[in-house]
Structure 1
Amino acid sequence: MFEIPSGSDFLTQIAQQSVSRRRFLRDMTGAGAGLLIGARRASALRREYGQKTIIVTFGGGARDQETFAPEGQRYIPRILMELIPRATFYTQVVNRGILGHYVANASLATGCYESFNNFQSIRPENPTIFEYFRQDRRRQASDVWVIAPSNGFTSIGESGHPAYGRGKGATVVLPKALLAGVSGGSERPFESLLRDSHEGPVGAGVYASTARQDEAIRDLLQISMSDFKAHAQSVSSPDELSLYIALHLMRSKAPSLIWITLHDIDIAHAGAFSLYTDAIQRTDRICAELVRAMDQEPEYKGQTNFFILPDFGRDADDDPSGNGFQHHRSGDALCRTTWLLAMGPGIRENTTVDRPVESIDLVPTVAKMLACDARFAQGRPLVEVL
């Protein structure tokens, strides 16, 4: 584990983040009337959990200044007005691990703080929620899908653990790799979509994966780029393509577990504030569209658990060791403190939880809902939603 500072100033900052988010929510939406203090259980309200689960993470997160603060609420109207009133909202989710997008998402997927090089395509050391679910529930790979950014994320679907590993994880869809194939191997007309992360030594590369694997997934999904162009609000956004694939997957395959990692917010590394806030607004809309599909699709309606969780935050403007909204280098409270939204059958609505939890608590929580055993996870189940 990578310990965060334990000094009183740092802990006070984290607590202030929690109080601020609750106040903003109360003022904006009235959420918080069902405030839970401590570990009050919600299990008495339900007889069974949702049969399906959708998890949305997004790279780099966004600071409160651009989301829950009064000046930032205009960027997330759907999360504030449509989703949070239906959800249990955790205001104080701490990430104690490495603040790199791939390694942080791998930690979210395993429930353990992974420690590998963020810029290498390495399988997580610990088993993933995808492997726990498939092995314990005896599910096929077609029932568990990951839709993720291209660079590095090819290995997130299964771990290097000897009891799990090869062939026992999720089917991973890398939208940019699929796009390169249906575009005939040429970057045009989707050149901007084929570009990877804006951070790190691999930032300018175009993802190249196993052609046979990509072809098999294209055949399985039968995606249509003409249909994508006709319906996407922005054909230059990788996250729009991820949304299109997710909706197509829900309608055509109806898998039990879908994990979607959005990444447009990572444009913040380029230093353009307007592009950063535009990506926040797009993420807000995409989350709402996924919930709308969950409510409408017969295979998901009334039986789906839905989670939203940023992988981590971004630097404070006044921290000399960071770069403000551009990066997440300082390890301060804004970088390490995020939030989590949980909704679904029997989960309390319009409820705020202020107690500190950790990002690695996601996996043991989802595992209990899906009736599998996250036996190697280091996190603890979020009892308020169980």
Structure 2
Amino acid sequence: MVFTFFLVLLGACQSSTPQHSISTSQIQEPTRTYATQHVILVVIDGVRYQDSWGDSTLANVPRMARELVPQGAFHPQFFNQGETLTTAGHVALTTGHHQKIENDGTEIPDFPSVFHYYRQFTGAPASKAWIITSKDKLEVLARTSSTEAAAAFAPSVNCGVNGLNTGYRPDTTTLRVAKQVLARHQPKLMLINLREPDTEAHEGDWNGYLKAIQQSDRLVADFWKWLQKQPRFQRNTTLLVTNDHGRHTGRRFKNHGDNCEGCRHISLLALGPDVKPGTVATRARSQADVAATMAELLGFPIPQRDGEPMTELFQQHALTGE
């Protein structure tokens, strides 16, 4: 019944790229208290909306749709409003800014990330903030060319085979590493990149691409179940699941990188103690809102950002402090 209701709402909420525009803001201190003590962002690389949540059968995301959506909040109007490439998409998610950036790991972000600001404002060691990715080039997310004080507070990284320029690794390996880090260090912030849907699509392997989406679906669902069995993470961890970009529309699924709807339209799933269960959000949002939302949940500011916390996803008691 819940799943059917989700399908009806999902169909009613489809729309094109959001029209709202949010200007860069100065320091905004979070004013609410949340039950969340850990935030994990999972980025499933290069999944086109029509091949996942936009497919009415939900054949490629059955476990997230049936098991996880009733527990959390789903955002069907979620978009990449910057460069629809891997590095740029991840930079927007982690810094709250859309930056045109080289996609091969040779350029670093202009702004500090939510991980830098977390360490700066809380005094936490690097072991409490982690970037763990299947793609080696995403190690640049831990660095910045900014002259802000936050630039000195880099997070820990575990990317690709053995860091930048060492090659990609399987997503199953990345999830295994993430679980090891969580068990050993109990980090407060973590980003996990799953690369295989994007890689299979670039190979032009349609069936491989769909199977990779299905594998990501299983990995995320199993990861959430694992978190709920860990005493240190159950009932206090928020999981955000999204994409860095989609893919070209129509039969041009092999690549991405322009302004087409297929490249821009992505999704967001949120789970955690502060999330309103069974919610299908209606307000259009973009990647720039994710960093602000992560900071809001953990109670620290991001001095400069484009975007704002997605408080519409949260329980009313969390918003009022009741």
Are 1:58 and 2:44 an aligned pair?
yes
The separation in 2 between residues aligned to 1:326 and 1:364, in whole angstroms, is 32
Q: 1:287 aligns with which of 220, 242, 260?
A: 220
The answer as to whether partners of 2:3 and 2:66 remain within 8 angstroms in 1 is: no
* Corresponding residue to 1:162 among 147, 151, 164: 147
Cα distance, 1:117–1:326 mapped onto 2, change above 3 Å:
same
CA spacing shift, 1:108–1:300, aligned 2, 3 Å: same
Name the residue aligned to 2:272. 344
Query: Which one of 93, 102, 122 corresponds to residue 137 of structure 1?
Result: 122
Name which one, 1 or 2, has greater alpha-carbon Rg.
Answer: 1
Q: In the alignment, which of 168, 187, 191 is matched to residue 255 of structure 1?
A: 187
Tell me which residue corresponds to 1:238. Answer: 170
Counterpart in the other structure of 2:16: none
Q: TM-score, normalised by structure 2?
A: 0.84
Tell me which residue corresponds to 1:380: 308
Q: Runs of 5+ in structure 1 lacking a partner?
A: 1-23, 36-45, 179-205, 210-235, 318-322
Alignment of 1:94 onto 2:79: yes
Alpha-carbon separation, structure 1, partners of 2:9 and 2:184 = 35
Distance 2:211 2:307 in 1: 33
Do 2:37 and 2:188's aligned partners in 1 also have CA atoms closer than 8 Å? yes
Query: TM-score, length-normalised on structure 1?
Result: 0.70
Deviation of the 1:240 alpha carbon: 0.6
> What code does the residue aligned with 2:166 have?
A
**Does residue 287 of structure 2 align to residue 302 of structure 1?**
no
Distance 1:164-1:58 versus aligned 2 partners, 3 A rule: farther
When structure 1 is superposed on structure 2, of 248-257 and 136-145 the one drifting more is 248-257
Q: Within 1, Cα distance between the matches of 2:4 and 2:256? A: 28
CA distance in structure 1 between the partners assigned to 2:4 and 2:121 by the alignment: 41
Give the one of 292, 300, 306 matched to 1:364. Answer: 292
Find the residue that maps to 1:292 and give its secondary structure.
helix
**Distance across 1 between alignment mates of 2:52 and 2:78:** 18
Question: Secondary structure at 2:162's aligned position in 1?
Answer: helix
Aligned pairs (5 A) from 1:1-386: 26=4, 48-71=34-57, 73-164=58-149, 167-177=152-162, 207-208=165-166, 238-266=170-198, 267-317=200-250, 324-386=252-314
CA distance in structure 2 between the partners assigned to 1:28 and 1:358 by the alignment: 21
Q: 1:164 to 1:103 in 2, by over 3 A?
A: farther
Q: CA RMSD in A?
A: 2.4
Q: Secondary structure at 1:124's aligned position in 2?
A: coil
Q: Give the CA deviation at 1:348.
A: 0.2
Q: Number of matched residues? A: 292
Deviation string, structure 1 residues 166-205 (Cα, Å, up to 9, x no partner)? 5412101014117xxxxxxxxxxxxxxxxxxxxxxxxxxx
| Offset at residue 358 of structure 1 (A) | 1.2
Deviations 1:220-250 (A, max 9, x none): xxxxxxxxxxxxxxxx961010011011112
> CA distance change for structure 1 residues 170 and 47 in 2, over 3 Å: closer, same or farther?
closer
**Residues 337, 102 of structure 1: alpha-carbon distance in 2 compared, 3 angstrom cutoff:** same
Residues 51-95 of structure 1: CA deviation (Å, up to 9, x unaligned) = 111110121123323444135x22211110111111111111121
